[in-house]
Each structure stands twice: as structure tokens, then as C-alpha cells.
Amino acid sequence: MPLPSFGKLLVVAGLFLVVLGIVFMAAGKVPFLGRLPGDISIQRDHFSFYFPLTTCLILSLVFSLFFRFFGRK
């Protein structure tokens, strides 16, 4: 891999990580995210299990549509 191409790859990866960090910081401020019907939450004595199934499906759909529309050249 030529050096200029590798530099571009590092810049794009860095920008992606910055955007991902901003999304994670903002996700705590969205009240319904992670508490949708279909998210699995089990709490017992000394044990808790949480799997955001519906949230994962909705985020997957949103990201798939985003990359489908904006990812083409």
C-alpha cells in the first residue's frame, strides 16, 4: 500500500472514530434509546442481564439505509 493511500485511510478512520465517539456521548441523552419494547432485561439477586434487541435492530436498519444511500459513488 503506497504511503499517501495509507495516510488517507488513517484520516478517514480517525474521522470515523470521532463521529462514533460523538454518537456514543449523545446516545445517553436520547431517553428512549435502550428502553424500547423488545429489549430484554432480566434482574435477579446478584445478577442482571440486559440485551437491547429492538434497539440493535433499529440502529442496524438506520445505518444500513444511511450507507445504502450515501455510500455509493
Q: Which one, of 25, 36, 42, 41, lies nearest residue 59 by Cα? A: 36
pLDDT at 53: 92
What is the C-alpha separation between 10 and 53, in angstroms, rounded? 32
Q: pLDDT of 6-28, one tens digit each?
A: 888 888 889 989 988 888 788 77
Contact 58/36 with Cβ under 8 angstroms?
A: yes
Task: Name the pLDDT band for 3 (thresholds 50, 70, 90).
Answer: confident
- The 3-state DSSP class for residue 4 equals helix
Bridge partners, 43 (sequence order): 48
Q: How many residues does the chain have?
A: 73
Cell digits of residue 64: 444500513
Quick check: pTM over 0.75? no
